[in-house]
A and B are shown apart, each in its own frame.
Chain A
Amino acid sequence: MHREKFIERVLLLLALSSVGSLALITIFIFLEGFPLILSAGLKNFILSSHWAPTKGHFGILAMIISSVFVTLGAMVIGVPLGLSCAIVLAEFSPPRLKMVLKPTLELLAGIPSVVYGFLGVIWLVPLIRNYLGGPGLSLLAASIILGIMILPTVISISIDALTAVPDLYRDGSLALGATRWQTVRRVVLPAASSGIITAIILGMGRAIGETMAVIMVAGNALQIPTSILDPVRTLTSNIALELSYAAGRHREALFATGIVLFIIIMILNLSATLIARRR
């Protein structure tokens, strides 16, 4: 009996590892970054776009705006593609084809982000430069690459949401004389909507947090973009580009950038969890 109690304690300790890690991450990022937000002032930090960390200017507005635009762009590309795949696989494809297509599409998730970035530089950037103008390394390039990268997230969660809709709903609608597409649009999609919204939000979180691929294709110029062909620097790329040589307040400013990113992502994850739970 004693032994069982002891084992239970040990297991509880192990089970706290994930919560503990999350707490440690939060504490350390805040400890390192928060002093700078206090000393520079929150307003100067997130509402100014003057970033000259070695001269004491720590405004990250341009990067916040760039991150938001890149993420929205990724949604414009990724959501229609991802939802189409999910609807085709869950509703229109013969079961055998689905058995092949679903795992094939899930392989997209295994391809490392650096590979996406690399292929973006080799293939996509020259296309944009030659046919649309600008330097090629751009908001548009980053959006397209990220749009592709979020596909596995959007597809797999949407498929789960669609397949969770009971067949009775479909049968009922079809029995009333609706076509398959009318059934999908009027019955299945509304019933699966909270799952699909979760998929989109998690895709957003993935896009805004992605770093390596974005560094490679976005051009990393410090400016508020005025066109989709402008090069941009996101919150994530700013951290990754400067961390290796930053020291003192400059490094604190990068952790403070991390805090902003962390908060955005936690809000997205929380809303995804809440929406998923509402089901």
Chain B
Amino acid sequence: MRLDPHLSQRLVKTLLWTLTGVTLLILIFIIVDIAVKGLPQVTWAFLSQDSTDMGRAGGIFPTIVATAYITLLAILLASPLGVGTAIYLTEYTREGWATRIIRFGSECLAGVPSIILGLFGFVLFVLKLGLGWSVLSGALTLAIMVLPIIIRTSEEAIKAVPQDYRTACYSLGMSQWQTVTRIVLPSALPGITTGIMLSIGRSLGETAVLLFTAGAALRTPVSVFDSGRTMAVHFYILAREGISMPNAYGTAAVLVISILLINIAAYTLMQRLMKRYG
């Protein structure tokens, strides 16, 4: 039996739209559930007080500090490496075996699962280099995790800068480095910023890497050698050990909302950029 093509098209379309609807509903459900149960917990006191009784009572201030500390340090470490790589790949070399190896390495690195990164950071930074469970160990490992994101977005941003800009610089007698620092990088800055924001979003939600490199001490870290429990790790421990469901939801709400805001901002920036360069 052959189905009428228009009828079968209608059936298939209905099925595809239904499955798309299901996917959207799952997303909406996740966000609404976290917001409805989590947001009522999020008060000024929740954000600004120390955790007490293993997180059963009090706020999440130490975990916010630890998250910001580790994330910022990781970004500070990864950005020069990532942007430098992108500049090298786009401005300083022709496509060849070297660029192929670098791109391949970066792609593979992007595929390394976080538990493997956690194992690696644990053995190298925590044990071998003697940094212990610390903000520094966590940040070093996270920096490796976000490096491919920064490389890819920076490379795209730099490539999008019109070739005319460079030609104009050279005709004015500027050196290559002057061209890169004065003209190319400033024009690519919004794109590079997008990559950095995506990296921050990725770092905020990371758990497996940090559990084994930054540890889970529930005090506010001061030195880079202090252990620090990030929001995501705190949420994991609260939820898994059943310490406090309301506080788990509250932490999840802060976490998810910050990540969504950062990602939405990054997306908006990218859209604007794409409009500018078409």
User: A: which residues have CB within 8 A of B?
Assistant: 3-4, 7-8, 10-12, 14-19, 21-22, 24-25, 28-29, 32, 80-82, 84-85, 87-89, 92, 101, 103-108, 110-119, 121-123, 148, 151, 178-182, 202, 205, 208-212, 215-216, 236, 239-240, 243-244, 254-255, 258, 261-262, 265-266, 268-269, 273
Q: Whole-angstrom distance between the alpha carbons of A107 and B106 in the complex?
A: 23
Q: Are B112 and A115 in contact (CB under 8 A)?
A: no
Q: Are A21 and B263 in contact (CB under 8 A)?
A: no
**Between-chain CB contacts (< 8 Å), 23 pairs:** A4-B177, A7-B176, A11-B85, A11-B88, A15-B102, A18-B81, A19-B101, A19-B102, A21-B147, A22-B108, A25-B116, A81-B22, A111-B259, A112-B256, A112-B259, A115-B30, A121-B239, A148-B26, A180-B9, A209-B114, A255-B123, A261-B113, A273-B107
Q: How far is the CB of B212 from chain A (nearest CB, A)?
A: 6
In the complex, which residues 1-47 of chain B have their Cβ closer than 8 Å to any Cβ of chain A?
5-6, 8-9, 12-13, 15-17, 19-20, 22-24, 26-27, 30-31, 33-34
Q: How far is the CB of A168 from chain B (nearest CB, A)?
A: 21
Q: Are B124 and A28 in contact (CB under 8 A)?
A: yes
With A29-B120, A240-B208 as contacts: A118 and B239 at CB distance below 8 Å: yes
Which residues in B have their C-beta under 8 angstroms from that of A112?
204-207, 232, 255-256, 259
Q: Select from chain B the residue with minimum beta-carbon distance to A266.
A: B108
Q: Are A236 and B20 in contact (CB under 8 A)?
A: no
Could you tell me the dominant secondary structure of chain B's interface residues?
A: helix
With A105-B27, A151-B23, A209-B115 as contacts: A119 and B33 at CB distance below 8 Å: yes
Which residues in A have their C-beta under 8 angstroms from that of B26?
108, 148
| Tally of contact residues, B, Cβ under 8 A | 80
Q: Are A4 and B175 in contact (CB under 8 A)?
A: yes
Q: Whole-angstrom distance between the alpha carbons of A174 and B7 in the complex?
A: 17
With A110-B201, A115-B34, A265-B112 as contacts: A25 and B117 at CB distance below 8 Å: yes
Which residues in A have their C-beta under 8 angstroms from that of B175?
3-4
Closest 6 CB pairs of A and B: A209-B113, A112-B205, A14-B84, A19-B105, A84-B19, A181-B9
Which residues in B have their C-beta under 8 angstroms from that of A87?
16
Q: Select from chain A the residue with minimum beta-carbon distance to B248.
A: A118
Partner of A18, one of B118, B147, B263: B147
- Contacts beyond the supplied A25-B117, A211-B114, A255-B123: 12 A-B pairs with Cβ under 8 Å: A4-B175, A15-B89, A17-B84, A18-B151, A19-B104, A88-B20, A104-B24, A110-B259, A114-B205, A114-B207, A119-B34, A240-B211
Q: Are A243 and B212 in contact (CB under 8 A)?
A: yes
Which of A22, A123, A178, A208 is packed against the most chain B CB atoms within 10 Å? A22
Q: Select from chain B the residue with minimum beta-carbon distance to A208.
A: B113
Q: Select from chain B the residue with minimum beta-carbon distance to A207.
A: B113
Which of A19, A254, A255 is packed against the most chain B CB atoms within 10 Å? A19
Q: Whole-angstrom distance between the alpha carbons of A115 and B205 in the complex?
A: 9
